[in-house]
A and B are shown apart, each in its own frame.
Chain A
Amino acid sequence: MSERGRLAMLLAALLLLAPVAWQVALALPAFGFPTSAYGQTINALVPHMRRVSNMVAAVNFDVRGFDTIGEELMLLAATTGATVLLRGSRGENIGDRAARLPGRHLAGRADGTVLVCRAAAILLMLFGVYVVLHGTVTPGGGFQGGVIVASSLLLVYLGEGYPAWRRIARAPVLALVEGLGAFAFVVAAAVPLAWGRPALSNILPLGTWKDLFSGGTMVVVNAAVGFAVAGSFGLILGEFMEETRGPEDEDMPDEEHR
């Protein structure tokens, strides 16, 4: 179909659906006055049932934890797919130097950048671990903290360059961390099942209100998700960075002017 035909079909469809969308927008409950009682019930009951103060983490890892297993495995599948696709067609003669387009100027790395990245990467990784650990108490949790830890790995790449970064963030270690995270989540769901309780029941002691280790099984699941997300994003970023490397036997200087 030609380009104008596609655009005409899209505009016709949007024109047909616009009054329908308007009627639906008018029929939904008014913005700011929701009518559903499920959320308010959770806000009223769960702080005492599970002794946690972060309701979002309680919903994610306990009340609707089964959906989060699905999301976690979706993350695993997407990472595996991207890794297999990129590794499978890369070839053998890829080296450590960045692929260069002819005629492009190569700027070296400034000393200020290296210093700031070295300090900030460590601080950011500590912050990411803090966000994961306090997932059941303050806003945060495994998903957010995992992404923050993965972006601290990026600061290492900015400050140190590609070869040093690959030595620090090794792909087998990241894959192991990711797999262990997903496995721990599934184990936390399967152990109550083996004892005759419903899957993902909270079988550990619940702890005290606003304490770091409150919530029972939520602590284990939270840490597992943090590991899995950090490992997944580290692997994905590593694979994409390796795509930008050039062949090994080029005799042009790379970004370190070696």
Chain B
Amino acid sequence: MSWLVGAALLLAAISGAFVVLSRDPKRQVFALSANGTVLGVLFFVLQAPDVALSEIAVGTAVTPLLFLAAIAASKAGR
């Protein structure tokens, strides 16, 4: 299944580029969530279920929520 590993690595590279290239923080939150999911799939394909659990829980739910709260707080403080 080497094509699966290669495809997952290339998808991770593309989603990382999307996170950087979305300049608006509100859009970047969704790119971060997608990046977390893609990385979780990559870690799963690389035979690392523990790491995939950790990355999906953190990178898809907790980190984008922290970013959303930070954006909301920075707008409200103005």
* Whether chain A touches chain B in the assembled complex (some CB pair under 8 Å): yes
State whether A144 touches B62 (Cβ < 8 A): no
Q: What are 10 A-B pairs with beta-carbon distances under 8 A?
A: A57-B50, A131-B53, A139-B50, A139-B53, A147-B54, A147-B57, A151-B61, A154-B61, A237-B65, A240-B66
Our count of residue pairs bridging A and B at CB distance below 8 angstroms stands at 53
Q: Report the bound CA distance from A186 to B50 in whole Å.
A: 24
- Asked whether A246 is an interface residue with its Cβ less than 8 Å from the other chain, the reply is yes
Size range of the interface on B?
Answer: 10 to 19
Given known A237-B62, A237-B65, contact A144–B53 (CB-CB < 8 A): yes
Could you tell me if B76 and A244 are in contact, using CB atoms closer than 8 angstroms? yes
Residue of B nearest to A155 (CB): B61
Contact across chains for A233 and B62 when beta carbons are under 8 A apart: yes
- The 4 A-B residue pairs whose C-beta atoms are closest, nearest first, are A99-B76, A243-B73, A240-B69, A139-B49
Instruction: Report Cα–Cα, A57/B53, bound state, in Å.
Output: 13
Q: Does A236 contact B (CB under 8 A)?
A: yes
- CB pair A101 B76 closer than 8 Å: yes
B positions within 8 Å CB-CB of A: 49-50, 53-54, 57-58, 61-62, 65-66, 69-70, 72-73, 75-76
Cβ-defined contact, B61 with A144, below 8 A:
no
Distance (whole angstroms) from the CB of B20 to the closest CB of chain A? 13
User: At the interface, yes or no: A56 with Cβ under 8 Å from chain B?
Assistant: yes
Closest to A157 in B: B65
The answer to whether A185 has its CB under 8 Å from any CB of chain B is no
A148 in contact (CB, < 8 A): yes
Q: DSSP majority for the B interface? A: helix
Q: What residue in chain A is nearest B58 (Cβ atoms)?
A: A147
Q: Which of A99, A140, A233, A240 contacts B50 (CB 8 A)?
A: A140
Q: What 0/1 readout, one digit per residue, does chain A (235-250) give for beta carbons within 8 Å of chain B?
A: 0110011011010000
Establish whether residues B57 and A240, one from each chain, have CB atoms under 8 Å apart when the complex forms: no
Task: List which A96-132 residues lie within 8 A (CB) of chain B.
Answer: 99-101, 131
Q: Mark A residues whose CB is within 8 Å of B.
A: 54, 56-57, 99-101, 131, 139-141, 143-144, 147-148, 150-151, 154, 233, 236-237, 240-241, 243-244, 246
Residues of the A chain whose Cβ atoms lie less than 8 Å from the Cβ of B49: 139
The residue among A101, A139, A140 with the most chain B CB atoms within 10 A of its own CB is A139
- Closest chain B residue, CB of each to CB of A57: B50
Residues of chain B within 8 A (CB-CB) of A144 are 50, 53-54, 57
Q: Can you name the residue of chain A whose Cβ is closest to the Cβ of B69? A: A240
CA distance A57 to B66 in the complex (A): 28
A56 — nearest CB in chain B belongs to which residue? B50
- B53 — which chain A residues lie within 8 A by C-beta? 131, 139-140, 144
